[in-house]
Amino acid sequence: MNLYPAIDLKDGACVRLLRGDMDKATVFNNDPGSQAAEFVAKGCHWVHVVDLNGAFAGEPVNGAAVDSILAAVGDNAKVQLGGGIRNMETVDYWLNKGVHRVILGTVALRNPDLVKEACAKWPGRIAVGIDARNGFVAVEGWAETSEITALELAQKFEDCGVSAIIFTDIDRDGAMGGPNIDSTVALARAISTPVIASGGVSSLEDLLAIKAQADAGIDGAISGRALYDGRIDLAKAIAALA
């Protein structure tokens, strides 16, 4: 099972938000490249990057920071990137630049045909980010909640080659209260696409609880704040999940 350390970018810095609130951001590192290098040095195979400003703006904003992460990671790990990727031109731009996998979130709800087109053009390199509040999909940087459930949206992409569904329970994100394992497992069992758990992962015990459900179709877990504040030792967590 993979552990995806998270780098959330706001105004060029690595931050963590509380339940997606941009006004409740804690800055952990002003040098995203060095943060990515630290994660790789400790053994991670992936780095999960989100352009938070881009998610609200609807277009990439922290491009320079992403470039620094790609340069720092090189061929030593893979980068998956989301936030503000709303058209094929942006998908092409980042995948050609060295991002291994792009995450389509808001556009997956607004324009599911674009997801299918991207999957056909870039096999194995497109993920869908589904962020849910009380079970319903939230978009535009979590500022809007739709009337479609996470499962309904995930089912739209069952046959088009999406490499992973990244499922985030917004109410758990950054709150250090543990992930919503029941909802994550229920989603994973209902679809064939691998699911990556996100939101609230705050201890090694949380990671092991997710790993115990791997046979449901869970590929891995994303963690952010707990890695920055030392609640999870990255090297030990990677070893435990291997």
**35-76 pLDDT, tens per residue?**
999 999 999 999 999 999 998 898 999 999 999 999 999 999
Catalytic center residues: 8, 131
Q: Which domains are seen in the chain, by residue range?
A: 2-241 (3.20.20.70)
- pTM for this one? 0.93
- pLDDT of 148 > 80? The answer is yes
Beta bridge mates, 48 = 6, 80
Rounded alpha-carbon distances, angstroms, from residue 12 to 51, 63, 66, 68, 143: 9, 9, 9, 10, 21
Residue 173 scores a pLDDT above 80: no
Cα pseudo-dihedral 53, 180, 167, 69, rounded to 10: 50
Share of the chain above pLDDT 90, in %: 79
